[in-house]
Chain A
């Protein structure tokens, strides 16, 4: 009995110390969070290219460690790993973030691997250029690879200035032989070419001025360096297979993004002027509106109506599917305990019958699980369209993730 009591005491003491160490609210503390998930991808149509499968599953993990110092400066580490059953290229590791933020009275210095987003529109993220797209993750281009950088930011009453030095280039990830949502010839990243002899070690620079005043938010940016979008050269790999070889050119890009709010209307636009990509300079822009209605049909539900137009002066030569397209979307937020949300969008090519349908719905289960389903379809793609070779790749993606 005394033995039991002393053990019990130790346990009690131990747990008290543990309790004190880990639950006392220290303002500059360690934080551990993130998610693990599993997904399954179903392709109702049979694959067009050999090696592709009609079904795949994958596992993903993205933990996050955050430490804030007493000064307000902080350290963040976010590794990422995905294991995919069908596509070797989709099985990949990345450091999404490994960065120090040095907080000073007059400026912020951010050093390390980070992610930065620029832009205002919903369908196409035109001016966003700092981070490379992790395309194997999702064709929506919203997943990004961690970018090594030194960023100094000055925030004043009349706006924020950001200067970026990007000393190392990240190559875009491309879907491999086993994966769907690719062209017939795969992109061979072993043969990647660069315009600059420094290749991946070319120093890229960016400068951005952003400001909010009354109902306006504007961002004016200049980027000089390696294009995040490669041009493609037809070639053969060591096996003699026909492949696409990515070539990264040196570009200069000036861009403007803005949003204007007026009552329930939110107007937004992005435009860019780029030189160095291909032989001709080009303009591209996208813009539109988002109109939000609260408590529709006497319920808690909010409805957002989205309309956007995308245009690229390169027309069909553009390495984007959105050279002259209109998109319409509806976003339902149920505002229930499970935070149920659904987004439906329809993107229509103005010059052809090509259209692209997208549906995403998400719902929380309990406190920590999130169920997301996505459906994408590329319809009526004419043979000259950017997405023609993906015409059979209608996809249903179901993901269940545990957030901790």
Chain B
């Protein structure tokens, strides 16, 4: 009798719950990779860093933006971040406060220093350009597992690193993409390349990330992020500097009062 129960349980597991081990579907494998990636990113608490963003058009003309960034990890929800613009000088002091949420839309406030005004802004337009760059808001806000569905495609070597190659499909509204193809290195879970496909599913942009450095003996962050738009010939190069962890930042550093005095 026990044996029969055992066998039937086993059978039902195999038939009705194929994920339990024997044959993981591509979707499950993709999700598992994303979850592992997220797990490895957990626990950094906070960091500050500065970025220089160089915009280049088809003619090769360049224009740059300097932005300071503060990020706070929030347990069981998306990160909170504060971006403070330093250059160009006419937008100096402008700051963006962003509360990412795992599900639902993010909360965003913009501080306009000339008017001393804090303005709530709609975060629905995720496909909108960030500061005129080739990065959309959805590319630079915190990447939560819940924001996509996944599908593992293959494993392959990319720039001498063994990588998972998987696709992810935005699970939120108003994305500018149908899908993204992600190259993630198997050893350290660094995102080394993402190909973006627009709403018509044609190739739009490619992001390559390099000059990774390990922080706190655990977290791998890219030093450079290069986004190339294949449709317009424009590109944006982001260089990250001065990563600092454990600054003791808290919720009070990410509210409207701190937004008003952000420098």
Contact = CB atoms under 8 A, between A and B. Distances in A.
Contacts of B122: 261, 263-266, 290, 292
Interface in B150-200: 173-174, 176
Contacts of B115: 117, 142
Which among A142, A217, A334 has the greatest number of chain B C-beta atoms within 10 A?
A217
Contacts, number: 117
Interface in B209-235: none
B252 A294 contact: no
Interface in A272-287: none
Nearest to A72: B261
Nearest to B261: A101
B75 interface: no
Contacts of A74: 261, 263
B117 A155 contact: no
A279 to B, nearest CB: 33
A263 B132 contact: no
A253 interface: no
Contact of A367 (B63, B109, B117, B176): B63
Contacts of A212: 107, 109, 120, 256
Interface stretch (B24-32, B36-44, B86-94): B86-94
A68 B263 contact: yes
A92 interface: no
A68 to B, nearest CB: 6
Contacts of A364: 88, 90
A1 interface: no
A403 B92 contact: yes
A77 interface: no
A115 interface: yes
B89 A335 contact: no
Contact of B128 (A142, A214, A335): A335
Contacts of B251: 157
B242 interface: yes
Contact of B90 (A155, A259, A403): A403
A261 B257 contact: no
A368 interface: yes
B261 to A, nearest CB: 6
A145 interface: no
Nearest to B105: A263
A337 B90 contact: no
Interface string A351-385: 00000000000001001101000000000000000
Interface in A287-328: 290, 292-295, 300, 302
Contact of A108 (B57, B63, B64, B257): B257
Given A115-B116, A367-B89, A293 B255 contact: no
B263 A261 contact: no
A245 interface: no
A39 to B, nearest CB: 15
A337 B92 CA distance: 16
A125 to B, nearest CB: 9
A233 B124 CA distance: 50
Interface string A71-83: 0001000000000
A164 interface: no
B61 A160 contact: no
Given A157-B251, A403-B90, A217 B63 contact: no
A73 to B, nearest CB: 10
Contacts of A302: 125, 128-129
A31 B131 CA distance: 23
Interface in B228-255: 242, 251-252, 255
Contacts of A293: 125
Contact of B89 (A25, A153, A264, A404): A404
B192 to A, nearest CB: 26
Nearest to A62: B114
Contacts of B87: 367
Interface of A: 25, 31, 33, 35, 66, 68, 74, 101, 103, 105, 108, 115-117, 119-120, 142, 153, 155, 157, 160, 210, 212, 214-215, 217, 259, 261, 263-266, 290, 292-295, 300, 302, 334-339, 364, 367-368, 370, 401, 403-404
Given A117-B116, A155-B256, A261-B123, 13 more contacts: A160-B256, A261-B105, A261-B122, A263-B173, A266-B122, A292-B125, A302-B128, A302-B129, A337-B61, A338-B63, A339-B88, A368-B88, A403-B90
18 contacts: A31-B263, A108-B257, A142-B115, A155-B252, A155-B255, A155-B257, A157-B251, A212-B120, A212-B256, A259-B120, A261-B120, A261-B122, A263-B105, A292-B125, A292-B128, A294-B126, A335-B128, A339-B132
